[in-house]
Chain A
């Protein structure tokens, strides 16, 4: 099977090269035979790469430990669930997964793109073939997943225990899907530049792909946060690690694009900017891959340092120089159709929104690269961790949150003072009311206060928008308000789905602010002994160590500690935290013992218990007890954000002409005059 997989890689390589050449030539010369051949090459490449992936999965499931990759990341007793995820648990397999999914997306782009965008497809085929062929090249010449060992081990090394978590089964593919699907909008952008067809058409073709990519990245980031929280045991979910930052960067630039694209669609402005954002998003996805796979910046997420990084650096430079050179030659064709009419307009607010999003992206990139820069300039590789990012990013993030509430309140083209007064009255009152409440409640952390108050303002904006739209339907059709609100979303999914995303962002910001109030303690307890910890809300939690039990489970020896928890003297439940010693099929230890955190999640706070270890092999246990406020809202905010994104993405909702006749839509336009 590995021979077949290896041959499939070579086939994909050759077919990819052919697709790239015929795609560019067919598009530039207008030859339909070459265009058709490029399209077929995309499908053939997907077939070859899918076969290669099946071959590797087969080797994994057959425990073919003569294959270096299988021996390095699996073992005979690895649960089946994780045998699937072993495909992308290591550098080589993840490259194959990446190339396969990219070729799948490339094929889907060819199949699903509507007839009126056909002119772009040869170039799209060519660009996707170039990118996929690059990944196949890396595998063939630097990281071959089908490489064989000179001997066959009895058992494999097994999977890192921290990867044996459901979050880690879904987090990497979601993140990869986000990274990978950026290639499709990028391919359409290059196609538009090459074909000089730079009207709104290419935007329509890429908007949904960009949204798909944005959504997958968002899900990937949220799952990564969840995994870090439940598995790593340090008590948080975001550490500003370089690899986390690298995934955030294209998400930020795509968020900027999804806002500014509306200005191009409505007013024919920002053509240059939108193209630049798509190109930058793609380059940042390659940059993120370079960071993850090169080891150039220390990160707990990095794959082993290897020569793969040089390939990515070369490709990053090649793609940046190539795409921006092409972009520069087409600038004269990208003049705006209309001019901005007022500084106080929706267009201007979107521009400032873009400025802040790109500002955050720049600050994150700057902080990520700062250790390298300081090493070059002053000879010291400074550590740039959470304290730096909190100092620099949080103020910009808060300004962005505020603008999230301002943007929808300002009319398109030109807003009058009476209009602004009417629009801002309710949201500003909501924000001030929330501010007053948190101040009276005794909150004194400035960033947290601002996050919650701005959150109140943004929520006021969204509620007002829904209220007006639903009210209009209620008056016209006599629909109950709840039904009217639902139909409002259905009729204008993009706009109201976007507002739901804004609510998700508000929830995330408020939840993030909760971490400013976390409390924790450490204690060594004999069975029956207790430790106490006061929550930020003033409740006294008592943690009583009940005892230690040891047992075998699947591929590990478990040392479980049970803790009884009470709040202000009333029982709230029991928490179990574990030490796990993973073993192979022969009972040999495979990794150092890992920790499983005990978490009791609630709307107000999470109780987070970590078993540090045992004193002299007795039941006397060392614990860390942490109370993390509002963490549940991070996950709930994530659900809301993803739900909003899905609503925006969901097809249908009527044509723009039909939507304009709907109450709610009309009311908004009237209010804007």
Chain B
């Protein structure tokens, strides 16, 4: 096989590239990148607890404290480098490992951080007012509107 100068250089460059970058598709360990810091803090590999649907459901009910306004699950899968959500996720996993149920984990968070750790006020006691006021106001307004409409239509009919 005859290889011209350009072809030879391509082969040499490809070989050197393969040696420098050792992470060919599906083979061997992953190579180092040139500037790891610009990709953000180093992360740990995903664990089974990170993708556990049950734990995710719990974390979606608990607020992250980093100021993002998101729940723990959404925050940790959006800002992977946030130390706050990592700590809270770790706490959820630790409680689950202790054999606690979902409600017990949520209760433990409420006991530790106060009820403001919940993504919505619990539906009991005085908090129910918070849930019911819009519907009650709407129903009262609808009743008032119907009464007004009746009065107007009666007046129009009698005329």
Q: Give me the interface of A with B, judged by CB distance under 8 Å.
A: 232-235, 239, 241, 298-300, 339-343, 348, 351-352, 355-356, 358-359, 362-363, 366-367, 370, 373-374, 377-378, 380-388, 391-392, 395-396, 520-524, 526-529, 546-548, 550, 557, 559, 579, 581, 592-593, 595, 610, 612-620, 622, 624
Count class of interface residues, chain B: 35 or more
- Interface-forming stretch among B8-16, B91-99, B101-109, B111-119? B111-119
**Binary contact readout B116-159 vs A (1 if CB under 8 angstroms, 0 otherwise):** 11111100001100110111011001100110011011011101
Q: Which residues of B contact A622 (CB under 8 A)?
A: 43, 45-46, 80
Determine which of A241, A391, A520, A612 lies in contact with B120 in the assembled complex, contact meaning CB atoms within 8 Å. Answer: A391
Q: List 12 A-B contacts (CB under 8 A).
A: A356-B138, A374-B121, A381-B116, A383-B117, A391-B131, A392-B135, A522-B51, A528-B26, A615-B30, A615-B42, A618-B29, A620-B30
Which residues of chain B (59-83) have a CB below 8 Å from chain A? 61, 63, 67-71, 74-75, 77-81
Secondary structure at the A interface, as helix, strand, loop or mixed, is mixed
Q: Which residue of B lies closest to A530 (CB)?
A: B26
Q: Which residues from A are CB-within-8-Å of B134? A: 359, 362-363, 366-367, 392, 396
**Interface set, chain B 35-49, CB cutoff 8 A to A:** 35-46
How many angstroms from the CA of A624 to the CA of B159 in the assembled complex?
A: 69
**B32 on interface, CB distance cutoff 8 Å:** yes
**Nearest B residue to A392 by beta-carbon distance?**
B134
Question: Which residues of A are found within 8 Å of B32, using beta-carbon distances?
Answer: 617-619
A526 in contact with B69 (CB, 8 Å): no
| A355 in contact with B27 (CB, 8 Å) | no
Residues of A within 8 A of B121 (CB): 370, 374, 382-384, 388
Closest chain B CB from A520 CB (angstroms): 7
Given the known interface contacts A355-B138, A359-B138, A592-B81, the answer about A559 and B33 at a Cβ–Cβ threshold of 8 Å is: yes
Contact of A385 with B30 at beta-carbon distance under 8 Å, contacts A343-B149, A615-B43 already known: no
**CA A593 to CA B29, docked complex, whole Å:** 25
- Whether A370 touches B130, Cβ cut-off 8 Å, given contacts A381-B116, A382-B116, A620-B30, is yes
Of the candidates A381, A526, A612, the one whose C-beta lies within 8 Å of that of B29 is A526
Query: Which residues does chain A contribute within 8 Å of B2, judged by CB atoms?
Result: none
Q: Is B31 an interface residue (CB 8 A)?
A: yes
CB distance from A46 to the nearest CB of B (A): 38
- Taking a contact as CB atoms under 8 Å apart, the answer to whether A613 and B25 are in contact is no
**Across the two chains, which residue of chain B brings its CB closest to A614?**
B39
Residue ID in chain A nearest B132 by CB atoms = A392
Q: Is the CB of A385 within 8 A of B38?
A: no
Chain B residue at minimum C-beta to C-beta distance from A413? B156
Residue of B nearest to A389 (CB): B120
A528-B24, A559-B33, A618-B30 known; A385+B71 contact, CB < 8 A = yes
Q: Is B34 an interface residue (CB 8 A)?
A: yes
Task: Give the Cβ gap from A658 to chain B, nearest Cβ, in Å.
Answer: 31
Give bound CA distance, A352 to B149, whole Å. Answer: 11
Determine the distance from Cα of A362 to Cα of B135 in the docked complex, in whole angstroms: 10
With a CB–CB cut-off of 8 A, which chain B residues contact A352? 142, 145
The distance in angstroms between the C-alpha atoms of A205 and B61, with both chains bound, is: 49
Contact of B131 among A342, A392, A610 (CB under 8 A): A392
- What are the residues of chain A within 8 A of B135 when measuring CB–CB? 392, 395-396
Give the top 3 A-B pairs by smallest Cβ distance, nearest first: A528-B26, A617-B36, A612-B80
Cβ contacts under 8 Å, B153 to chain A: 339-343
Interface contact A521-B51, CB-CB below 8 Å: yes
Q: Which residue of B lies closest to A232 (CB)?
A: B78
Check B68–A300 contact: CB distance below 8 A.
Answer: yes
- Nearest-Cβ distance from residue B65 to partner chain A, whole angstroms: 11
Say yes or no: B40 contacts A624, CB within 8 Å: no
A592 to B42, CA, bound (A): 13
Select A615's contact among B24, B45, B150, beta carbons within 8 Å: B45
Q: Which residues of B contact A624 (CB under 8 A)?
A: 77-78
